[in-house]
Amino acid sequence: RGTVLRVEGVSVEYAGERPTRAVRDVSLELRRGELLGIAGESGCGKSTLAYAVTRMLKPPARLTAGRVLYRDREGKETDLLALEGEELRTFRWNKLSMVFQSAMNALNPVTSVGKQFHDIFRAHRPAMTARQRAERSAELLEMVGIDPARLRSFPHELSGGMRQRVVIAMALALDPEIVVMDEPTTALDVVVQREILDEVERLRERLGFSVVFITHDLGLLLDVSDRLAVMYAGEVVEYAPAAELAARPAHPYTQGLLRSFPDLLGPRRELRGIPGSPPDLRLPLEGCPFVDRCEHAFEPCRSTHPVLRDVGAGRSAACHLEGAVVGEH
């Protein structure tokens, strides 16, 4: 499967008296049709990365380095960070769309669901007739398991789960190749979270788009992701096929996260349970960002920054330990 999106060396800072280096030198690759999971505690930079990749960063956040390359089916590459105005707007809906945590913010509260679909089509598919717009809107709602009669509903008349499904249907309205989802299920209860994730899986198989799925809940991602990136303190510390990461986590942080689920089939818990807290990203960082919380820390960890490197079985980890740690959790 070819690459559809390549993130190369992306860094983002939040301006301030001492700038916060929220995302540092992140490189990732999304293949056509795959689901790439990005997991990490709140504040690890995963949403900031999503905003950078989708060109939605707002001051005081500022991209300081990197490229985000979209590759079309013919292999032609476009740097998303160089797109402006109309080009960017067209790209956003047609090639790449976004689903964020709060469906309520994504939907217009005073406009019916149907009208919101119509507005998308009117703006981006001006050649469609009113009838085609109505048919396509109904089809999209059905696709996410909602009765098309709901096109007449207003957002407040729908449950949280239904609203999030509507937002997903809207994100798919123009057949994008990539959908970036940032905590799309976090506001919902566990059962509804699962249902929505299953729905995303079905849609992805049927329509063939690629997904970047961002969440603080690593457990949610293990069985649906093709590959997983674990972020810590603004960096990717492990990047691996999901099955490998679950069976043989290479980075001590990933191991800690996995240990915080006593049973993967049991109730989901937040990513807690590793004593200590991440470093202050306003201060210079010399060694490993995880050093204060790592039970394996040794001599070079405090002075030398570990870079992401191949540790076998398709895994990469940013850790000084040889072959990283033998994963037990």
Residues within the interface to Mg ion (CB under 5 A):
47
296 binds ligand SF4 per the rule CB under 6 A:
yes
Q: Which is nearer to ligand SF4, 69 or 285 (CB)?
A: 285
C-alpha distances out from residue 50 to 127, 147, 165, 179, 325, Å? 32, 31, 20, 11, 29
Our finding on whether 306 is near ligand SF4 (CB under 6 A) is yes
Cα–Cα distance measured from residue 44 to residue 41, given in angstroms and rounded to the nearest whole number: 6
With CB under 5 to 8 Å by kind, the binding choice for 252 among ligand SF4, Mg ion, none is ligand SF4
Closer by beta carbon to ligand SF4, 23 or else 318? 318
Q: What pairs with residue 181 in β-bridges?
A: 99, 213
* Torsion angle, alpha carbons of 310, 312, 318, 324, to 10: -140
Q: Which residue is nearest to Mg ion (CB)?
A: 47
Closest CB to ligand SF4 among residues 92, 251: 251
> Would you say 45 or 114 has its CB closer to Mg ion?
45
Q: Are 182 and 99 in contact (CB under 8 A)?
A: yes
| 232 is a site residue for ligand SF4 (CB under 6 A) | no
The reply to whether 219 sits near ligand SF4 by the rule CB under 6 A is no
Bridge partners of 315?
312
Which class for 197: exposed (0-12), middle (13-18), buried (19 or more C-beta within 10 A)?
buried
Instruction: Answer yes or no whether residue 321 interacts with ligand SF4 by CB under 6 A.
Output: yes
47 contacts which partner out of ligand SF4, Mg ion, none, CB within 5 to 8 A by kind? Mg ion
Which lies closer to Mg ion via its Cβ, residue 62 or residue 89? Answer: 62
Q: Which position among 4, 294, 308, 311 is part of the footprint of ligand SF4 (CB under 6 A)?
A: 294
CB atoms closer than 10 angstroms to residue 103: 23
252 binds ligand SF4 (CB under 6 A): yes
Burial of 151 (0-12, 13-18, 19+ CB in 10 A): buried
The one of ligand SF4, Mg ion, none whose footprint includes residue 144, by CB under 5 to 8 A per kind, is none
Q: Residue 119's CB: how many other CB atoms inside 10 A?
A: 14
Least distance to ligand SF4, CB of residue 298, Å: 6
Which of these, 74, 79, 76, 63, lies nearest to 24 by C-alpha position?
63
- Where on the chain is the footprint of ligand SF4 (CB under 6 A)? 251-252, 288, 290-291, 294, 296-297, 301, 306, 319-321
